[in-house]
Chains A and B, each alone.
Chain A
Amino acid sequence: MRRLLLALLCLPLLTAVDARAQGVVADISESVVSITTGFQGTDLLLFGAIEPETDVVVVVEGPPEIATVRRKERIGGIWMNADEMSFREVPTFYAVLSNRPLKEFVSEPAQIVYNIGFEGVPLRPLREEGRDRAVVQAFREALVRGKMARDLYRANENAVSIMWGRLFRTDLRIPVNAPTGTYWVRIFLFRNGNIIGAQTSALGVGKVGITAAIYDLAHRHAFAYGVLAVFVAVMAGWGASLAFRKH
Chain B
Amino acid sequence: MQLYLPIAEMSVNILAILALGAGVGALSGLFGVGGGFLMTPLLMFMGIPPAVAVATEANQIVASSVSGVLAHWRRGNVDVRMGVALLVGGVAGSSCGVWLFTALRALGQVDLLIKLSYVVFLGVIGSLMLVESIRALLKRRRMVTQRQHVHTWVHGLPLKVRFRRSRLYISVIPPIVVGFVVGVLSAIMGVGGGFIMVPAMIYILGMPTAVVVGTSLFQIIFVTANVTVLQAITNYSVDVLLALLLLGGGVMGAQIGARLGSRLRGEQLRGLLALLVLMVCMKLAYDLLAQPVDLYSLSDTGGHP
Contact = CB atoms under 8 A, between A and B. Distances in A.
Contacts of A67: 298-299, 302
A15 interface: no
A40 B2 contact: yes
Given A65-B302, A218-B6, A238 B67 contact: yes
Contact of A234 (B11, B62, B290, B292): B62
Given A72-B297, A236-B247, A40 B240 contact: no
Contact of B236 (A65, A143, A218): A218
A81 B251 CA distance: 38
A188 interface: no
Interface in A47-63: 63
A243 B6 contact: no
A165 interface: no
Nearest to B226: A230
B230 A226 contact: yes
Given A78-B289, A88-B305, A69 B109 contact: no
Interface in A185-243: 207, 210-212, 214-215, 218-219, 222-223, 225-230, 232-234, 236-238, 240-241, 243
A9 interface: no
Contact of A237 (B10, B63, B228, B290): B63
B66 A177 contact: no
Interface residues of A, number: 67
A211 B303 CA distance: 20
A147 B292 contact: no
A20 interface: no
A4 B70 CA distance: 68
B63 A240 contact: yes
B216 interface: no
Interface in B270-305: 288-292, 294-299, 301-305
B108 to A, nearest CB: 4
A237 B250 CA distance: 10
Given A66-B304, A139-B296, A177-B10, A229 B59 contact: yes
B112 interface: yes
Which one of A71, A146, A147, A237 has the greatest number of beta carbons of chain B within 10 Å?
A237
22 contacts: A65-B304, A65-B305, A68-B302, A69-B299, A73-B295, A79-B289, A79-B295, A80-B112, A84-B108, A142-B298, A146-B297, A147-B298, A150-B298, A207-B6, A218-B236, A226-B238, A230-B59, A230-B228, A236-B244, A237-B63, A240-B67, A244-B67
Interface of A: 35-41, 63-74, 77-81, 84, 88-89, 92, 138-139, 142-143, 145-147, 149-150, 176-177, 179, 207, 210-212, 214-215, 218-219, 222-223, 225-230, 232-234, 236-238, 240-241, 243-244, 247
